[in-house]
Amino acid sequence: MTVSLHHCPAPAKLNLFLHVIGRRPDGYHLLQSVFQLIDRCDMLHFDLRADGRIVRTTDVPGVPEEQDLIVRALRLLADEFQRRHGRAVPGIDVAVDKILPMGGGLGGGSSDAATALMAANQLWQAGLSADELMALGLPLGADIPFFIFGQTAFVEGVGEAMQPVAGPDCWYVVIEPGVSVPTPAIFGAVDLTRDTKPVTISDFSRDQSAQNELGGFGKNDLQAVAVRLFPPVAQAVEWLGSYGQARMTGSGACVFCAVSSESKADEVVAQVPAAWKAWKAKALARHPLKSLLQNRAVVE
């Protein structure tokens, strides 16, 4: 029996574009976006316990254990396990090496939760399908279903409707402008554009195959508000814009630019002003945990 899953990656995502096309009656915004996985990851480690408890064994600054999306997601899975199997889960210890910035628009919290759901589903032998894990995670974070889906996706609604799409095979330069952007402040702004004309998945795919320049399709409707409220985001967009199409991901704060090669990415990262953290990342076609779980390479 498998008792540990160590070195489970929780990758970041970039929103290659993000359009706000309307609003639901409950106030949530209807989005269209292409979500792209990249190879910058938090790393999670899981060990079965025998006493039924769910315990985070590492400190995450600013996130108390009770509020951690990892712990909240595991509690939901434990409740579902009890309903299905008529007994409690064995319990689990989870340790997190936190690499991704919070409030960065990289989906780190959601990705951590998705990795926890996939790993615990296997360790506890809970037996949920990917669709069932996605439905369990959605109320906790709109990006969780995408990370469980685990491949480049054209995403609609508030994050629940997705179709696979071929993404670019390229490198990115990502700048962390040093501010944490609260998502509610962006969606609540009076000047947010909420009526972008809907596009189709074919519009994106056609543009991908036709374009010579990397990363040009659409826009990020959340960017104008974030740039107004957080000057460092504006400065990062302007600086990176001299190397190509620079755009904010999600509700910010991180800003990215596609480049044609790893060496070009290294070159740009080396020139980023010291005030900002910057790194290169490669586009991933598939979630790295999926193949690890299939061939059990993470088992220790």
Ligand X SMILES: Nc1ncnc2c1ncn2[C@@H]1O[C@H](COP(=O)(O)OP(=O)(O)O)[C@@H](O)[C@H]1O
**Residues forming the site for ligand SUD (CB under 6 A):** 15, 27-29, 31, 105, 107, 141-143, 158-159, 183-184, 187, 250-251
Q: According to the binding rule CB under 6 A, does residue 105 interact with ligand X?
A: yes
- Name every residue whose Cβ is closer than 8 Å to that of residue 203 and which is 6 or more positions away in sequence: 217
Residue 220 CA, distance from chain mean position: 16
Q: According to the binding rule CB under 6 A, does residue 232 interact with ligand X?
A: no
Which partner from the list ligand SUD, ligand X, none does 70 bind, CB cut-off 5 to 8 Å by kind? ligand X
Q: Is 111 annotated as a binding residue?
A: yes
CB of 145 to ligand X, least distance (A): 14
Q: Catalytic annotation on 143?
A: yes
Q: At what angle do helices 130-137 and 69-85 cross, to 10 degrees?
A: 130
Half-sphere exposure of 147 (CA within 13 A, CB side): 33
Q: Is 107 annotated as a binding residue?
A: yes
Which partner from the list ligand X, ligand SUD, none does 20 bind, CB cut-off 5 to 8 Å by kind? none
The active-site residue, picked from 42, 68, 112, 143, is: 143
Spatial contact of 152 and 166, defined as CB atoms under 8 Å apart: yes
**Residue 48 β-bridge partners:** 92
Q: Which of residues 189-218 bind ligand X (CB under 6 A)?
A: none
Q: Is 167 annotated as a binding residue?
A: no
Q: Is 11 annotated as a binding residue?
A: no
Q: Is 242 annotated as a binding residue?
A: no
- The residue among 33, 41, 68 whose CA lies nearest residue 287 is 41
Interior angle at CA 72, CA 67 and CA 78, nearest 5: 155
Q: Catalytic annotation on 13?
A: yes
CB of 67 to ligand SUD, least distance (A): 12
Enumerate the H helices of the chain as residue ranges. Answer: 69-85, 108-123, 130-137, 144-149, 183-187, 201-210, 223-229, 231-240, 262-271, 288-295
User: Catalytic positions, please?
Assistant: 13, 143
Annotated binding site: which residue ranges?
101-111
Residues in the site for ligand X, rule: CB under 6 A?
60, 63, 67-70, 100, 102-110, 112, 183, 250-251
Residue numbering of the annotated binding site for ATP: 101-111
